[in-house]
Amino acid sequence: MELNDFITKFAEQFDETEASQFKANTEFKTLVDWSSMTALSIIAMVDDEYGVIIKGDDIRKSTTIEDMFNSVKEYKSKN
């Protein structure tokens, strides 16, 4: 599991924001097209791509994309 790959897949869940805006330190909840639907898309993407089921609480606790990546990575290491 690579951070850059995660960022690319994460960015694909957003319709309006340019992919170049997504970096490890991007505070994704401040992006214009962040919504509950985007959060659900991210949950589905993480499940499909990484076989990890995250919850809304995991998203709430994360500020940056790297925070979310680290949560997913931690879940993967436990399984």
Distance CA 46, CA 72 (A): 8
CATH of 3-10+22-78, one of 1.10.1200.10, 2.40.30.20, 3.40.50.2300, 3.40.630.30: 1.10.1200.10
- State pTM to two decimals: 0.93
Sequence ranges of the domains in the chain: 3-10+22-78
Distance CA 14, CA 17 (A): 6
As given in the structure block, the two tokens for residue 39 are 């959060």
What digits encode the pLDDT tens for the residues 3-16? 999 999 999 999 99
As given in the structure block, the two tokens for residue 59 are 């998203």
What digits encode the pLDDT tens for the residues 6-48? 999 999 999 999 999 999 999 999 999 999 999 999 999 999 9
